[in-house]
Amino acid sequence: MTPSHIHVPTDCRTVTEILSRVGDKWSVQVVVQLGGEPKRFNELRRDVGGISQRMLTLTLRGLERDGLVTRKIYPTIPPRVEYRLTELGCSLLNTVRALGSWAIENRDHILEARRRFDEATGHGPGADGA
Amino acid sequence: MTPSHIHVPTDCRTVTEILSRVGDKWSVQVVVQLGGEPKRFNELRRDVGGISQRMLTLTLRGLERDGLVTRKIYPTIPPRVEYRLTELGCSLLNTVRALGSWAIENRDHILEARRRFDEATGHGPGADGA
DNA sequence: CCGCATCCATTTTGATACTG
DNA sequence: CAGTATCAAAATGGATGCGG
């Protein structure tokens, strides 16, 4: 054991991969919305706001795949599907909230930095991914 | 910006926007690499590994714009440019590390959930497009 | 050594329409 | 109501060559 190969750090790759879920446009918002009560598809769609049906489906699938969310189907008419955070999902919610707090606390700081930067360069917002 | 006709939760929008910096493919890695010592461009490039010059430039610019990183130029020959985390950058590093810990702790859990999900659906990895 | 610009491929997202 | 399919647009990432 202990493959001393200097190969790629397995952990880093995985971490990055998992982080990318947090980084995508909607996952975090969905998780947060699911934080209190379980919700139904269109309920979630309303609450998140601005998300397309397609993206909500995709996001939910991804979350479900990672074991962060469970899907419960009630065979009623009309169909009712409820999404709920798993324990794992809840633990992520906590961590994500920390990040959210950081973002809120430093929002002004960052916005100010951006404004100054943009002003100094003359360019409009043309920076990286954000 | 700031569409005044809809009272979108200002915080959420901003938080999401800031989170997207954390979510992109490289920012986190660069921040982590800059965590200990300030580094030079190509030094950083080597340490991150797999990042293209373009992406490193873009990432660094974005980080600089947000006030997370500072760029210091030494007018020597050949030119020497050093990147260093700001205080704000350091505080982000801490938060990010928490998320990283979460990812590492739950890596197996998630990987297992994925495996099960993929098996159950028969589909290969075709879930959410992160 | 630093890093910008251009071209190109892949990935991601959104609009719309349709099914159970 | 919940979910899928298709299509086109946009953002993102990478390779390469040029200039300070």
Question: Model confidence over A20-53: pLDDT tens digits?
Answer: 888 788 999 999 999 989 999 999 999 998 999 9
CA distance A101 to chain B (A): 9
Q: A73 to chain B, minimum CA–CA distance in Å?
A: 16
Q: Does residue A66 sit in helix, strand or coil?
A: coil
Give pTM, 2 decimals. Answer: 0.84
**Class of the domain covering A9-121:** mainly alpha
| pLDDT beyond 60 at A130 | no
Task: Say what percent of chain B tops pLDDT 90.
Answer: 57
Q: What is the pLDDT of residue A76?
A: 92
DSSP chain B: ---TTS---HHHHHHHHHHHHHHSTTHHHHHHHTSSS-EEHHHHHHHH-S--HHHHHHHHHHHHHTTSEEEEEE--SS-EEEEEE-HHHHHHHHHHHHHHHHHHHTHHHHHHHHHHHHHHH---S-----
Q: Tell me the pLDDT tens digit for each residue of A63-110.
A: 999 999 999 999 999 999 999 999 999 999 999 898 889 988 998 999
What is the pLDDT at residue B73? 95
Q: What percent of chain B has pLDDT over 70?
A: 84
**What ranges do the domains of chain A cover?**
9-121
- pLDDT > 90? residue B129: no
Residue nearest C20, CA–C1′ metric? A79
Confidence of residue B9 (pLDDT cuts 50, 70, 90): low
Residue B19 to residue A15, Cβ atoms within 8 A:
no
Stretch B31-52: mean pLDDT:
92
Statement: the CB of A54 is under 7 Å from strand C: yes
